[in-house]
Chain A
């Protein structure tokens, strides 16, 4: 599969001397749904800023669908759509006008621009708000407006920086469905998010960036495969006053009805239930204590923090 994005030795040092990126390499295949994760200040937004040409890189190369950022910026810009983290549209303009105007900036004739604006605003549930000044839209609507705006020139690569921040769960799920549909149509998507459940659910590949370096770049399946120990919470039928002795399964009582157990992949979960059954402990349900990706993310970032500190 050909490459949608190829970044080599990308560095960025801001005017105040802060080095946001220290030579990252990153590849995203065409058609991929890619998660770019990292803690606050890790370099995600700087990377996206460089891809969208809002941030000047210090050194390195960026290539999107064969278009080099330095040699053919216009062609590169045509191939990407960016949904930024902050609202960046004119708050006094009408929803419809914002999308049509953006199409005009890409050289799309007015007739086609209006048709596409109607198509994307309808798909994103904003068509009935087309004549409303954008400032009066809710936070979720504003995010969807930015998605419609980013799609109006029909980019091959869509970059979304925290698209579901502050969006309620119902709307978030409808946005997930919309993005999945876009990806199925062949649009490559790069997503940054703080909702790791979102990344786990949507993305096939993942890059984790921390302190301006890529600390992990692999498939979601491989990454989750690295998780050797998972922590489960067991809801118990009867009261317990002390944690049961479970051989090979470190455990603690969270409250009289909830038992927290660490399960090593090598041990499996069947033996745990056998031991519980022999002690007449009935389990009503079990769930992961945290999202699996979150456990890995925290451990990778902590490891990198220790390395940086050294």
Chain B
């Protein structure tokens, strides 16, 4: 095993370097759009409409939505990076370069996931920096903030990977983001506290995993949350492990890649 470790570390470095190079090379498609979109959210929702809404959870509306918007961009970009890069490799058949090589399936999976996490974090940092033009941010709990954002980016990178494995055409990689990811994110407490909802819908909202992630991140930044942080973090760790095992099995089986 140790004789395989060194080559796999080099392979991992190669995959991550290639992934980062890919999304930085096409930055007008990957890094610029979330920056513009989030500035629009800050201006319209945070500034213009937010002034009419007033405080939420003891903070100005702008302060309240900034953590949610950062998470929204992290979720979208980590998922989008892996799904488009891995499906693109399948589509162009360049995935065969990896499949014929002695790289371990775990190295491939970790490499693509790290690529997604790095893009998610990079966009998250860009959006955070932009938010400073609109509001003052102070981090309530740095450890929770970093842990939650990394776990969230990992989870959505792994989900993007599953989507890419099963996708057979470009429609298949846009269906899940459009019809599942976007509604879950918008209903995941990015723009509101679930305490504003009737009790029934509060309970329903708890089934939305994005709600837990957004609230845990908001706790890290502002110190307020609609849900228990320990539950949210435990859920994210379990989800990461389960998704990783599922993705690794898909890779080993060669589903969608080997005939």
Contacts and interface: CB of A to CB of B under 8 A. Distances in A.
B4 A74 contact: yes
A107 B102 contact: yes
Contacts of A86: 93
B99 A54 contact: yes
Query: Which of the listed residues A86, A88, A91 has the most CB atoms from chain B within 10 Å of its own CB?
Result: A88
Contacts, number: 82
B94 A105 contact: no
A89 B89 CA distance: 8
Contact of B101 (A77, A84, A89): A77
Interface in B62-111: 88-89, 92-94, 96-104
Contact of B259 (A55, A77, A149): A55
B258 A109 contact: no
Given A49-B259, A56-B259, A91-B92, A105 B101 contact: yes
Nearest to B12: A104
Main secondary structure of the interface of B (DSSP, over half): helix
Contacts of B89: 90
Nearest to B8: A107
Tell me the interface secondary structure of chain A in the complex: loop
A89 B92 contact: yes
A88 B10 contact: no
A106 interface: yes
Contacts of A49: 259
Contacts of B13: 104
B258 A53 contact: yes
22 contacts: A15-B259, A49-B259, A53-B99, A53-B100, A55-B259, A56-B254, A56-B258, A78-B102, A82-B100, A89-B92, A89-B97, A90-B94, A91-B92, A102-B101, A104-B11, A105-B98, A106-B101, A107-B6, A107-B7, A107-B9, A110-B10, A149-B97
Interface of B: 4, 6-11, 13-15, 17-18, 88-89, 92-94, 96-104, 254, 257-259
